Structures are given as structure tokens and as C-alpha cells.
Chains A and B, each alone.
Chain A
Amino acid sequence: NAGVTQTPKFQVLKTGQSMTLQCAQDMNHNSMYWYRQDPGMGLRLIYYSASEGTTDKGEVPNGYNVSRLNKREFSLRLESAAPSQTSVYFCASSRLLGQVQETQYFGPGTRLLVL
């Protein structure tokens, strides 16, 4: 049981390049999330998927797109990377029990540097 896994662990991009961050969970959770973490800003929600087939914007969605590929996988895409997107990206998942989201469990993170 690996929990939440993320690939890649590290990535360096040039401004304008695109990339996709991958996330998978093996806990049979309904809901998945993408956060970014920046010094002095805490964790901020980019996008989330409450259940397979749905996605919603979080606090800082501009410049990003997401795809809920299936129940296990949730990807985050940067179409044209900007230096402001240099950050550490975390994926998380949780169980949806009725209308209630339970505890979120986090992956190890992807460290992204945009030059």
C-alpha cells in the first residue's frame, strides 16, 4: 500500500515549456487534490476533484489544468510555465463519506523550478 505517489520528484523547466505532474493513490479514495506550497504562503489549493468525473477550481487555479483520469489518478498540467509557478506541488486524496470529506493524505511532493 503505497498511499499517494507523485512523479516526477524534481523538474526544471524553461519559461513557456509545458509539463504534466502525475498523481496516483491506492487507498480507493473518491476525492483528490492539488496544492502548491510556497514560503510564507502555506499550502494553497489549486484544483480538486470531489469524485471521478468532476473537477473544481481551488484558490489559485490560473495557469493550471487538471484531468481526473480515473478513480486512482489525477494529473496537473502547466501549459506554459512561468517563473511564478516555481513551487513545491503536493497531491492529496481523501474519502468522501456521504457529503463529508474525511482526512486528506498527502504525497511526497514534486519540486518544480521554472527558469
Chain B
Amino acid sequence: EDQVTQSPEALRLQEGESSSLNCSYTVSGLRGLFWYRQDPGKGPEFLFTLYSAGEEKEKERLKATLTKKESFLHITAPKPEDSATYLCAVQATSGSRLTFGEGTQLTVNP
């Protein structure tokens, strides 16, 4: 059974204080790992897809990296508008379903 564990559950940062969110996964064969951002009262918004170990993708202050067991979402010099819940999901090669983690709730204080 595919499993995704995200840590920490919640993270508070000061504006400009860089940090990383972790997504550990077990899957029979990884087709893709997805990062989403979710604002309160809204649907998840797609950020990145990573397909193979060593791959990295960047978007503004966010950089996602992937190893064979985990993915990191690095946030550099965050701003208050980066406050949201960040969700990680994996898709196995054997099927089309996504398995989601419970998310990390990020708060960036000004």
C-alpha cells in the first residue's frame, strides 16, 4: 500500500527565515510526486511534479527536490503570502490514483 508522511504538521516562520518541508513516501514504483498548495477554504493548487531521484524544480521562492525515499520543499526567504497548507502526493506506476499526505500548515509571520 502506498503511503505518504509529511513533516512537520505545522511550521511557523518569520518573514525571511528559510526552511524545508519533508515528504516521505513508500510506493511500489514511483511514476510521479506532486506538490500542491492549499489556501484556507480553497482547492489544492498545483505547484510541481517530480519524476525521478535527483530532479529539482523551482518556482519563485519554492524549490522541490526528490530522492528515492523523500521529497523536500525548500522555501527561501518566505513572505506572509506563502502561508498555506502544502500537500504532497505520489502516483504509482501501477495505477492512476494519487495518495496524499496530510499536509504541512505553514505560517509566515511579518
Contacts and interface: CB of A to CB of B under 8 A. Distances in A.
Looking at chain B's contact residues, the main secondary structure is strand
Interface residues of A, number: 23
A98 to B, nearest CB: 11
B71 to A, nearest CB: 15
Interface stretch (A11-19, A63-71, A76-84, A105-113): A105-113
Interface in B85-108: 87, 89, 91, 96-98, 100-103
B34 interface: yes
30 contacts: A31-B96, A42-B100, A42-B101, A42-B102, A42-B103, A43-B87, A43-B89, A45-B97, A48-B96, A48-B97, A58-B97, A90-B43, A90-B44, A94-B96, A96-B96, A100-B31, A101-B91, A101-B96, A103-B34, A103-B46, A103-B49, A104-B34, A104-B98, A105-B46, A106-B36, A106-B44, A106-B45, A107-B43, A108-B43, A109-B42
